[in-house]
Structure 1
Amino acid sequence: MTSPQDTSSQGRYPAGGRAFPHRNLISIGALQTHEILFLLDEAEQWVELNRHASKDSDALNGLTIINAFFENSTRTLLSFEIAGKRLGADVVNMHAAQSSVKKGETLIDTAVTLNAMRADAIVIRHGSSGAVGLIAGKVDCPVLNAGDGQHEHPTQALLDALALRYTLRERGDASSDGMMNGLTVTICGDILHSRVARSNILNLQALGAKVRLCSPPALMPSGVEAMGVEVFYRFDDALDGADVVMMLRLQNERMDGQFIPSPREYRHLYGLTRERLALARPDAIVMHPGPMNRGVEIDSDVADMEGRSIITQQVEMGVAIRMACLDVLTRRARKLPGWAEGEWA
């Protein structure tokens, strides 16, 4: 199976390379709504492929993808690795603990080294906000942001939207234009340290959804209202009438224990239980980007609730979204008709 050369027939975006003119995928904030819709639509072909017994494609045959992870990851790294291999690419994983960065090499030196290896795309996760953008400016190939500090995690937001769209479609509630107008999404948890929250706010709002944020005061970023969200400090109020409840992990590694009194008290005030979920709409969808702290921000019987929780679907959609992003960003290098010409945005 090879990628399509022109998917503009749906009329939601321009033809060829104009549908997604960006060289890199660093931030959801840099994308227009039609570009987000294009990536979601592109991912759907890979969802179908991944559900077949034979999952191989030759779309990226002969290309080399480097996954450069300067921050620990299991789920995201595995998802990108599977995505690259299913597209037929040669995939190389670089772990920070085994790299020269641990020996004092600067980030720019690392970027220059990676560039000299002539990769066709580089996927980067880094603990510092802006680090991925810095590397992207020093290499000649497309760069995908797999999470940088507290900045953004664009493919997570895209996979969340794709999982949500599939669920709404199965329920008969999906919009024919791919938008999510009228949907109310409550995001609860450690907003302050969450790049996932930031990317989801931008992505969901671009698609027309209304976003609510809820957390303890110490975990709510100052001035976040400027992003057009509603801010709540009482979880029960934030859940009232919500169509979607997205829980976030407490990032204890970034807190040093000073933000919450105890996990037990946090669960009492902000944990998603069956009783609390009943305050949202009767068919409200439950999401979590993982990994979960079961019994803290979400109870197991909610996380595993059939018909309501789509957490495993989020994992499934992650592979498809990353396949779509790798496919789209390498189309110019592969000189596909309609993509070989034109300048990068």
Structure 2
Amino acid sequence: MTQTNVACDRHLLGLKQLDKEEIVSILDRAAHWERQPNKVTHLLEGKFVANMFFENSTRTRFSFEVAEKRLGAQVLNFSAAASSVEKGESIYDTVRTLESMGIDAGVIRMKPIGLLAELAEKIKVPLINAGDGNNEHPTQALLDLYTMRKSFGEIKGLTVSIIGDIMHSRVARSNLWGLQKLGANVKFCAPDNMRSEELGEHAPYVAIEEALQADVVMTLRVQLERHDKGFIRSAEDYREHYGLTVERAGMMKPHAIIMHPAPVNRGVEIDDELVEHEKSKIFTQMSHGVPIRMAVIERALA
């Protein structure tokens, strides 16, 4: 097998390309890492991983960095704001430059859609998608799946409602592909101008009242900057019609859980009192980011 083919097998570009068995394998391996008492291992000692963030992120980058260091890898953090990209160097040239310096894997977050797949065909080291445009965010969906599996024992048969800006959400896309492959029933709930017709072919859009009757109610972060573009009238208006208020949470099933990919706009997509409610798994989701990303990085390099 050529080096390029090996890299192809170890890329993680999205959940749409993974089969059920591979997703379950990652979740199982994350469970292994969550059980480990030692914070640091030497599994990837001598390996170099570059975190290449061409789009700002705090939680995702720190989560990857902690995961890499727990595995014993050497970590290089790359910020586009302080790089040659600001001077006009292309993303491809930047990634190619780091590859030529000897990195063993790259974690990439970027705004352009479709570029990551093109990079993966040309770069000979494994690439891990940390979010590309509104295409996919596979590790976020994997930690969401992991949280659901820990909460309910299995995902097959669950009904999961995803509420919010479906059109622009990479989290919604990755969760849709992963949940359906594991046998869950997915429903969307969104304002008319935040719906993706493409995704509507795979899961129905329902009213907020029906969405609340799911086993998992996942609200998405409202991009408040979209207010200037007319997608929402105001934060207050969005909360009134689509926010998970305390009153609406009272309509949920007794066993149901609340999820959110974060960061949370408290009092907009979800009321402040619900963020750390007994039904909420929001901070639990965050804690699962490290073992999931350990499993993904191990898959790429071990």
Structure 1 segment 277-288 matched on structure 2, within 5 A: 277-288=249-260
| Paired letter, 1:156 | Q
Residue by residue, what CA displacement relative to the aligned partner does 1:50-74 show, whole Å, maximum 9, x if unpaired? xx3x311111111000000000000
Aligned residues of 1:271 and 1:296 also touching (Cα < 8 A): yes
Question: Partner residue of 2:34?
Answer: 47
Which residue of the partner structure matches residue 245 of structure 2? 273
Determine helix, strand or coil for the equivalent of 1:231: coil
Match of 1:214 among 163, 166, 189: 189
Instruction: Kindly state the Cα deviation for residue 249 of structure 1 after the two structures are TM-superposed.
Output: 0.4
> Which residue in the other structure is 1:339 paired with?
none
Counterpart in the other structure of 2:4:
none
Equivalent-residue separation in structure 2 for 1:247 and 1:288 (angstroms): 5
Q: C-alpha deviations, 1:234-285, integer Å up to 9, x for none?
A: 312321x310000100123456331111110110111101211222211210
Aligned length: 296
> Secondary structure of the residue that 1:147 maps to in structure 2?
strand
Deviation per CA, 1:186-241, whole angstroms, max 9, x where unpaired?
100111110000000001111100001001101111232212x1212x312321x3
Q: Give the alignment partner of residue 289 of structure 1, picking from 246, 249, 261.
A: 261
Segment of structure 1 superposing worse, 158-167 or 77-86:
158-167
Distance 1:113 1:21, change over 3 A: closer
Is 1:85 paired with 2:69?
yes
1:131 CA drift (Å): 2.2
Residue matched to 1:324:
295
Code of the residue aligned with 1:289 in structure 2: it is P
Equivalence for 1:204:
179
TM-score relative to the length of structure 2: 0.94
Task: Quote the Cα distance in structure 2 between the aligned partners of 1:150 and 1:287.
Answer: 20
Contact 2:224 2:235 in 1 (8 A): no
1:258 corresponding residue in structure 2: 230
Alignment match of 2:112 (pick from 116, 128, 138)? 128
Compute the TM-score of the two structures, normalised by the length of structure 1.
0.83
Cα distance in structure 1, aligned partners of 2:159 and 2:8: 30
Contact 1:111–1:138 (CA<8 Å) still a contact in 2? Answer: no
Taking every aligned residue pair, what percent have the same amino acid on both sides?
A: 48
In 1, the alpha carbon distance for the partners of 2:75 and 2:135 equals: 26
Unaligned runs of 5+ in 2: 1-6
Retained in 1: the 8 A contact 2:227–2:234? Answer: no
Structure 2: which amino acid aligns with 1:59? L
Residues 1:21 and 1:118: Cα distance change in structure 2 (over 3 Å): closer
**What is the distance in 1 between the residues matched to 2:111 and 2:215?**
32
The aligned counterpart of 1:182 is: 157
